[in-house]
Amino acid sequence: MQKFIFTKSLRILIVSLLLSAVFFQKERSQVLMIVVFLIWLSVIIATVLWQPSRKLIIRLKRQAEESRNRNALQTVDLPYESERTSAEPPVSNPIIHQEILQEHQDEMMLRHIALRITDKLKSAYPHATWQWQSKPFLQNILQGSTVRIAVEEMAEFTHADITFDRFGRIHVEPMIIGSFAAPPVSDDTDTESVEAAPEPPVVDVNVWYELIGQKALENIITELNTNGYTKLSIKENGDIVINRQKKETVQATLDAFPGKPYWEELITVLEENELKGKITGSSLQVSWI
């Protein structure tokens, strides 16, 4: 269609230019030819652009109408949207959620620490039980603060101080706090009712030495060394004896002393602490010079 219009208008333009050249003088004909050409060019441009412009106008009108209809629908649905929004549960506060998560993690860490304390105590005292004297904060333990616990079934000890060093190693310092009471004496003298002794528990020699043996031996050896002694013997029941005037004299008794099957391991521990050990019959001989 546009090609047909262009061809027809071009013919009209040519005829108009020829007529202008024939019937008018040269100068006037030139001006007239320019005017005719500009009019023709304007008509061609308008014809070419009219169809796309018309389509664009129709499209814009259609989009404007659709936009008005969409806004009207949103206005109608707004109350329902408001009700749906109000029915949704409130979004949880991330800060509160983080605090709850941190408290849970701290509680889990304290349980892990408590299990390590239990393992440490039971290695030397198999029947030991304990509880926090005052439940500590995890941060205080991690910073190396001392925490006190109340203990039971640990010989004469009633409490212990717990610390962790910067390498995560646990240190236990047993102690006695409070008044002493004599152990109850049974009025039952019938020996037939005495039950058989239970099987000896498994002992961790390193832990026993750290908690009980090291401090007791250091105190006794220091005192004996000043009197010229160079060795002592430990009986299977834990009695520490020395030979005085060709007689064995008991100096002290070690609590929960490991049985004879553990003595070889105990000798190794003694050597690590600059002491020498040797099994002599039913005794363990310890020398320091």
Mean pLDDT, residues 67-95 taken together: 59
Q: What share of the chain in percent tops pLDDT 90?
A: 18
Distance from chain centroid for Cα 133? 26
Residue 146 has pLDDT above 70, yes or no: yes
Mean pLDDT, residues 158-182 taken together: 81
Q: Indicate left, alpha or beta for 153 from its phi (over 0: left) and psi (-120 to 50: alpha).
A: left
**Which of the residue ranges 6-15, 42-51, 183-192 would you say has the lowest mean pLDDT?**
183-192
- Beta bridge pairs of residue 38: none
Q: Which residue is listed with tokens 């490991």?
A: 258
Closest to 254 in 3D by CA, of 287, 208, 197: 208
What's the number of CA atoms in the CB half-sphere (13 Å) around residue 221? Answer: 21
Q: What is the reported pLDDT for 193? A: 44
Closest to 256 in 3D by CA, of 156, 146, 131: 156
Q: Which residue is listed with tokens 């506060």?
A: 93
What's the rounded Cα separation, in Å, for the pair 6 and 16?
A: 15
Q: Which two tokens stand for residue 120?
A: 């440490």
Q: What is the reported pLDDT for 165? A: 86
List all residues 6 or more positions away from 224 whose beta carbon is below 8 Å from its beta carbon. 232, 242, 251
